[in-house]
Amino acid sequence: MIKKAIVWGLLLTLTLTFAISRAPAVRNALAGANITYLPFVSLAANYDVLIDDEAFTPHVLAVRTGTAVTWKNGDNVAYTLVGENAAFTSPELPPGALFSWPADTAGIYPYTAMSNPPPEGTPPLEGALIVSENGAADWFDGRTVTAAYQDSCGGCHGSERQGGIGPALVPGRLTENDAFYFDAIKNGRPGTIMPGWGNLGLSDAEIWLLVGLIRSEPTGAGVTWGLDEIAASHTVLIDEGTLPITATHSGNLDNLMLVTEREAQSIAVIDGDTHTLLGHIGASYRAHGYAFDPTTDRWVYNIGRDGWLFKIDLYTLQAVTKVRAGLDSRGLAISDDGNYLIAGNYAPHTAVILDAHTLQPLKVVATEGYNPEGQWVQSRVAITSDVAPTLVGPYFIIALKEAGQVWRIDYSQPDFPITKLENVGHILHDGFLSPDNGRFYLASQEDDWIAVIDVANWTLVTQIQTGDTPHPGSGAVWEANGTAYGATVHAGEGLVTIWNLADNQIAAQIPTSGPGLFIRTHEQNPYIWADTMFGQPPNQIYAIDKETFTVTHVITDGLMTLHPELTEDGQFVYISDWQGEVVRVYDAHTFTLITEVGGVTTPTGIFNTVRRYETLGH
Ligand code: HEC
């Protein structure tokens, strides 16, 4: 903090000197954007860019040609700076050291810094220099980057970058590298409403300035997203008192297939009995987690990646209430009594408990804690789940991705007390419960293991080494010859790993044609079904025999297929073809194609109503 104050102090000094001629720089410095238009002098013995807290401040620096740019290593490890295309390379800079480079030639210079020794798996720090004769005067027609953002981007991404129809653009959410976001802004996103700004008149330098902006923390009040902000977002769309008391469609409420239409901000509803499309429910950006009310066939809840949570009426196929639980969200679970919901957020670092009937927020839990290395970290919530009170509960379970902790929350007690389990792993992801709810199986992606947690005693039983980056989704559990098994696919390699739930020993490892995301099964179906979405070609769906663990069949229709889901009776398997924009229905015993359901846009996740009292998000 002190170091940052010094930087701002310097900027303010500069600002005073150049206030008249460099008005944009003033506003930028004051707005706290992580970008500086550095005017006509260098700071000589001081520095222009500080390495601190594993980041460059500012992330993007614009200077005039001829400026000597100086970096200071304010972190407690050594770094080496490397400019792209060998523009420059610093010697190794111990903590406190300075490095200067004469920026004599106009151009854009992305650069990185590698710490020494590099922490395993950590990407290098990134920054960029924009060197030009007098760029600042022309950029954004003389407006600041913050003003340009408000005019061109704020309408979709939110005035505080909290997200809107477009995702939130805040550092906590942006896990890809600079080149990725540069490309997204310059070329847009095909098939989405995100325009390509390269064609709309923005230069590469302006796009880099926008990359620098989204890499900085917003300063406005809008980004705190606590109980007040959540409550203020609460919107009743339809008065529940006016709804009909029976369903207005002919579909079987116990056998509806809900299909996330990823780019269409909607959910397609298909009747699992007749395989006909019943309609579409308007939801939000990338409908993600689903939670089905265990007490009635009427309500399902959905949370989009932009944090909007919807209460949806399955009788009339429409959302009745919405509330924004976070700015970037993943998991959703409902208590067995149908009274409480819990939403897991990526941004901010919180979990939110809500009244399921009204969607009013009840409690916001900050998700931070010591990681296995003993560092206090804020953490995204990877998954939420609920444990049946008749079996073990009444609990919610949430997994803290970066902190490597799993928390058990008692929703029957006032103020929802939390019991924490530390040291579970690194980058916790998704998981599922054993049929008796006594065990929770959770993927620890950086460790390549599935952590086995005793839910009643809240202890770590063991860690099952599986394969590269286990990704069970909502998992597969089944019984064969009196033994219970669980299985996961892997996002890092083409492999299905099956383990015995009694002794946690690996029972089989079955190679597939590529990494996958989802695996499912059904009591009345002889197969476990796994996709290979990251394989080449990305359209191989494996049916693996539950007893012999051998591959019985591979479905190879379509362009990019994923998320096999079985109908209520296990007779049919539904498979989304994301790129082919169709859902295919197969006989789940003979593998015969029964029909193709069209009229769906970018279908991804599929969720059957009765088979999903809970859906484990990620
Ligand atoms: C008309 C609405 C709209 C406008 C205007 C818009 N965006 Fe977007 N933007 C989107 C949507 C929607 C997405 C998500 C696309 C997808 O699903 O991949 C997106 C994605 C992005 C991403 C990638 C985010 C990620 O996590 O993958 C970035 C970066 C971005 N926008 C920046 C900008 C900037 C900067 C501007 C202004 C110059 C802007 N956008 C203007 C709608 C918009």
| In the chain, % of residues over pLDDT 70 | 90
pLDDT of residue 96: 86
Ligand 1 centroid, distance to 184 Cα (angstroms): 7
Closest-lying ligand 1 atom to the alpha carbon of residue 181? 29
Residue 191 has pLDDT above 90, yes or no: no
Radius of gyration of the chain (CA): 26
CB 334 within 8 A of CB 301: yes
Residue nearest to atom 26 of ligand 1 (CA): 174
Per-residue pLDDT tens over the stretch 513-563:
999 999 999 989 999 999 998 899 999 999 999 999 999 999 999 999 999
Average the pLDDT over 39-44 and give the result. 38
pLDDT of residue 88: 92
Q: Is 153 in the pocket of ligand 1 (CB under 6 A)?
A: yes
pLDDT of residue 171: 84
pLDDT of residue 348: 85
pLDDT of residue 480: 93
Q: Is 182 in the pocket of ligand 1 (CB under 6 A)?
A: no
Q: Is 156 in the pocket of ligand 1 (CB under 6 A)?
A: yes
CA distance 303 to 332: 7
Per-residue pLDDT tens over the stretch 91-114:
999 988 999 999 999 999 999 998
Q: Is 177 in the pocket of ligand 1 (CB under 6 A)?
A: no
Closest-lying ligand 1 atom to the alpha carbon of residue 210? 35
pLDDT of residue 115: 82
CA distance 490 to 443: 10
pLDDT of residue 36: 53
Q: Is 213 in the pocket of ligand 1 (CB under 6 A)?
A: no
Q: Is 611 in the pocket of ligand 1 (CB under 6 A)?
A: no
What are the C-alpha distances in Å from 107 to residues 22, 30, 64, 386?
21, 26, 10, 54
Average the pLDDT over 177-182 and give the result. 96
Q: Is 185 in the pocket of ligand 1 (CB under 6 A)?
A: yes
Ligand 1 centroid, distance to 457 Cα (angstroms): 45
Task: Look at residues 573, 566, 572 and name the one whose alpha carbon lies nearest to residue 612.
Answer: 566
CB 513 within 8 A of CB 470: no
Residue nearest to atom 2 of ligand 1 (CA): 156
CB 92 within 8 A of CB 114: no
Per-residue pLDDT tens over the stretch 441-492:
999 999 999 999 999 999 999 999 999 999 998 889 999 989 999 999 999 9
Q: Is 191 in the pocket of ligand 1 (CB under 6 A)?
A: no
Q: Is 442 in the pocket of ligand 1 (CB under 6 A)?
A: no
CA distance 553 to 470: 23
Residue 409 has pLDDT above 80, yes or no: yes
CA distance 560 to 604: 10
CA distance 401 to 446: 10
Residue 356 has pLDDT above 90, yes or no: yes
What are the C-alpha distances in Å from 331 to residues 57, 288, 324, 416?
33, 7, 14, 18
CA distance 578 to 141: 40
CB 56 within 8 A of CB 125: yes
CA distance 428 to 439: 16
Per-residue pLDDT tens over the stretch 260-279:
998 788 999 999 999 999 99
Ligand 1 centroid, distance to 139 Cα (angstroms): 20
Length of the chain: 618
Average the pLDDT over 198-205 and give the result. 94
Residue 4 has pLDDT above 70, yes or no: no
Cis status, amide bond into 515, omega within 30 of 0: no
Residue nearest to atom 43 of ligand 1 (CA): 194
Q: Is 544 in the pocket of ligand 1 (CB under 6 A)?
A: no
**Backbone region of residue 44 per phi and psi (left: phi > 0; alpha: psi in -120 to 50; beta: other values):** left
Lowest mean pLDDT among 323-327, 370-374, 530-534, 561-565: 370-374
Mutate which of 173, 176, 194, 204 for ligand 1? The one with the most ligand atoms within 8 Å of its CB, which is 194
- Token readout for 227 is 């109980």
